[in-house]
Amino acid sequence: MTEVKVRPFECWDDFKKYRMEYYKNYLEAKEKGGIRWAGSAWAFDPVPAGLGEDVYPLTGEPYGATCAFFRDFSYRALEAIERKGVARDLCGYMRNYWGSIVLDKYLLADGTEVEPFPKPDFNFTIHICCTHAKWYHYAAELEGGVPTYAVDISVGPGYLLDDKKIEYVVRQLEDAIQWMEKVTGREYDDELLIKAVENEAKSMTLWAKICKLNQATPAPMEEKSMFSFYVLTLLKRSDEKVVKLYEKLYKEVESRVKRGIGALTYEQFRFVTDNPPPWPFLKVYRYLEQTYGAVSVGSIYTFGLGGAWKCMDEKGEKWVWEPAPTPEEVGYEIHDRRSALWWTAMFNLKYRASWQHEYSHRIRKLETYQMIKDWKVDAIIMHLNRGCELWNMSTLEVRDYLVKQGVPVATYEGNMADPREFDEARTFNVIDSFMQSLGVEKLA
Amino acid sequence: MGENVENLPEIRQFKEWFEKRHEYAKKWKEKTGGKVVGYYCTYVPEEILYAAGILPVRILGSHEPESITRPYLHDMYCPFCHDTLAQGLQGRYNYLDGVTIAQSCLHMRQSYFSFADRVENIEWSYYLPFPHGVNNPYAADYAKHEFEKFKAAVEEWTGTTISDKDLEEAIQVYNKNRELMMKVFEFRKAEDPKITGLHAMYMVVSSQVVDKAEHNEVLESLVEKLPETESDREVGTRFMLIGSEDYDEELFKLIEYGMNYPATFVFEENCTGSRYFWGTVEDADDKLMALAKRYVYRVPCPAKDWARGDFFGRRRFQFIEKVIREWNVEAVIIAQMKFCDPHELDIPSLRDMLDKMGVPHLHLELDLTQPVGQFRTRVEALIESMGEEDLYI
């Protein structure tokens, strides 16, 4: 077995620092006279950016994942919201978020608990699955009334996109701007919007380019580290600082590939995953790495959640894992509010990979299979995730399809954000049995 | 003395259509040579299918235990989507030529695609991206756009042209059906509500699986007869049923006919009840826009009912509040399909609203089969708690 050179990421601390400051900035926004808004990580984050340079978001899914990672806090948050009569099978991220409001405690990235939970000036989200708009609707009720606006984006997959569908979303965004001016009392700055839209495109395509570098053998990144990188596309991708961080990461990963620096000292098995991981039990990844030299090179989740990809071809027959074009690359000039909103609507609807397979397992089968081929992996380990009905949609149909294509598939059941719904010993047993069945030996 | 409502041939006809829905569709097909399309959600604009000479039938389950859907649908997906797919896999929908869905919840979406791909007799399928944001002013315009494409797809598949006249006729048939069922529901405001929830369920669900023109004839006759009918059962507690699709006879029979205390459903706020037919298509030159407006502005499914901007309420809750007052509802049963996220997301707020209105309520979780004994105890306990002051008189 060939030994691979391994190095810590030079920009690791920069990413950690950004995330730490992100939660702190939201907390302290009012002290600086700034604006707080909360919403899904999929919300059109360039749009509130036009309200000023002191506008700080709190995106719910990463916040819910952070809560789940700190299990003790998560137990309390989940139980607090269940006492309000909320069902246990609802979105795990959302229940942690709601529970945090009910506890009136806010969690910083390092697990520090702060009181009270900082109330946003407004909620701004999208709605694509059954949850997002209703998440913030109820959060607003729990917080005693927060103005809330949700943009309906459920117009179908990108390869079937047409002008009318884009227009439907753009008109809602135009209204949203007027609404934001009304609820904040601020005048909207289109120049800030234009810059934010450009940054969003850069962040999302840069992340896609970084993921593509992981096709190399040895893989320069393992997925557990990628979780700390990809999340910036979900925190504030329209922030220029995020663009700079991704530019830095791209250069570093590119250099690692050139120099043959890998993620693991011994890479004897490559696999991909599909769903959000069980955040309180990321040790699953370390177990695979340390016991079997098995590296997860990514997932449709990590790549697709905030990455911009070409996605389905025009005929809807093939998935293309190539980074999406930026406005500059296609010669699209963003010069005013309308052109900015049109671009951000089109770009997300067409190129945000994770929005495509919402609509059909037919898309997700092709997406997953193409990833398995392009990233040259030996298998897929699928998380039957009880914490997200959206990401769990199609998983069994995809499993069936991949098995028929001859791809080894293992599944384990869990919950991305509810530590009570994960059987650690059973999961490790599944992994051991799977590896044994494939003849993958444990590292000496 | 009027005729006993239980003996009315119209009610018996609805029951027969409900129970023998597959036989009906097969006979219809033999008789007309037309196509039958199954639909997965009540946001499908059936009028477009009907205008093309197609019989739209709602895909329903059988409430029988099954285990054949587990390889395709996760356990945490609702029993309804498992049950409906199971019917297809078992060949019970072997007469369908096509299947369609108007974008609704994720569970049904997955069930629809598995049905479309795995049920062998399906030759045509169509996913209609119906807007979720029915509270925004652009939804109808967008829905019309999608209806245009749906209509074109139906025309291409069937080789027909759907004219405005065809659409107009279909709308008239459907509107008549809606108006008649609303009239029947109006009778339920009375002290003697004339029909039970079980009867209403037979009426509404049968309308989802038979030719509406035929259904209208029976409905007209029922509307004529109802004022003169009576029931030999005691009305008891006036319940409203709120929640997920519910066509399980067991539940209605238990609550209305099988408890120690009398009780009657006077209104069903679900998509096998009022949500299906409430609200007609307005007369307009632009037929597709008129249709789009009806479907967008109907009483929304919880999957589509959320705040937007300065509008902070839920349209469905406003409707529920109105019904409680006008139908003299004494208590509410929230019957939610297990794992149904859209309903689960509304229930805490709904319960708060009912508490504020002073309306007692009970939350039951529906599964493929129902724990009847447990439900009986819980519903009886609710009724007892409503009358607890009497214990001390």
User: What's the pLDDT tens digit per position in A340-398?
Assistant: 999 999 999 999 999 999 899 999 999 999 999 999 999 999 999 999 999 999 999 99
The share of chain B scoring above pLDDT 70, in percent, equals 97
High-pLDDT (> 90) share of chain A, %? 98
- Angle at which helix A283-292 crosses helix A223-230, to 10 degrees, equals 150
The residues spanned by each domain of chain A are 14-188, 193-438
Residue-averaged pLDDT of chain A: 97
pLDDT at A187: 98
Which residue among A172, A362, A394 sits closest to B136, beta carbon to beta carbon? A172
Task: Evaluate if residue A14 carries a pLDDT over 70.
Answer: yes
Count CB neighbours of A238 within 10 A: 27
CATH T-level topology, domain A193-438: Rossmann fold (3.40.50)
Q: Which residues contact A269 (CB under 8 A, 6 or more apart)?
A: A292, A293, A294, A295, A378, A379, A435, A438, A440
Chains A–B, number of C-beta pairs less than 8 Å apart = 140
Residue B272 scores a pLDDT above 80? yes
At residue B310, the pLDDT reads: 63
pLDDT per residue over A109-122, tens digit each? 999 999 999 999 99
pLDDT tens figures, A387-425: 999 999 999 999 999 999 999 999 999 999 999 999 999
For chain B, residues classed under CATH 3.40.50.11900 are: 233-391
Distance from CA of A219 to the nearest CA of B (A): 32
Of the partner residues A89, A130, A179, the one whose CB lies closest to the CB of residue B105: A130
List chain B residues with CB under 8 Å of A131. 341, 345
The pLDDT confidence band at residue A2, using thresholds 50, 70 and 90, is: confident
Provide Rg for chain A, Cα atoms: 21
Instruction: Give φ, ψ of A294 to 5 degrees.
Output: -100, 120
Pairing state between β A106-107 and A113-114: antiparallel
pLDDT tens, residue by residue, B217-232: 999 999 999 999 988 8
pLDDT in tens, B144-195: 999 999 999 999 999 999 999 999 999 999 999 999 999 999 999 999 999 9
> Is residue A426 scored above 90 in pLDDT?
yes
Tell me, yes or no, if the two domains A14-188 and A193-438 fold the same way: yes
Q: Which of B106, B131, B307 is facing A390, going by the closest CB pair?
A: B106
Q: Give residue-wise pLDDT tens across range A76-97.
A: 999 999 999 999 999 999 999 9
* Domain B34-162 CATH assignment equals 3.40.50.1000: no
Stretch 304-333 of chain B: residues touching chain A, C-beta under 8 Å? 306-310, 312, 314
Q: How far apart are CA A164 and CA A168, in angstroms?
A: 6
Cβ of B344 and A89 within 8 Å? yes
Does the structure show a pLDDT above 60 at B392? no
CA pair distance A88, A77, nearest whole angstrom: 12
Secondary-structure class of domain B233-391 per CATH = alpha beta
Look at residue B231 and give its three-state secondary structure.
coil
Question: Is 60 exceeded by the pLDDT of residue B389?
Answer: no
Residue B388 has a pLDDT of 62
| Residue closest to B104 by CA, chosen among A43, A154, A364 | A154
| Res A63: pLDDT | 98
Looking at residue B231, its pLDDT comes to: 81
**pLDDT (0 to 100) of residue B311:** 62
- Quickly state the pLDDT bin for B387 (edges 50, 70, 90): confident
> Residue A228: pLDDT above 60?
yes
Question: What is the tens place of the pLDDT at every residue in A150-173?
Answer: 999 999 999 999 999 999 999 999
A359 touches B: beta carbon within 8 Å: yes
Q: Which residue of B has its CA nearest to A178?
A: B309
- Quick one: closest CA in A to B144, which residue? A164
Q: Verify whether the Cβ–Cβ distance A87 to B347 is below 8 Å.
A: yes
Provide the token pair at B93: 């929908």
pLDDT tens sequence across A22-66? 999 999 999 999 999 999 999 999 999 999 999 999 999 999 999
Nearest CA in chain A to B145: A164
Selected residues 118-177 of chain A with any CB under 8 Å from a CB in chain B: 127-131, 133-138, 140-141, 145, 147-152, 154-156, 164-165, 168, 171-172, 175-176
Q: Give the model confidence (pLDDT) of B77-123 as tens digits.
A: 999 999 999 999 999 999 999 999 999 999 999 999 999 999 999 99
Residues A290-337: tens digit of each pLDDT: 999 999 999 999 999 999 999 999 999 999 999 999 999 999 999 999
Architecture of domain A14-188: 3-Layer(aba) Sandwich (3.40)
Asked if B127 and A360 come within 8 Å (Cβ–Cβ), the reply is yes
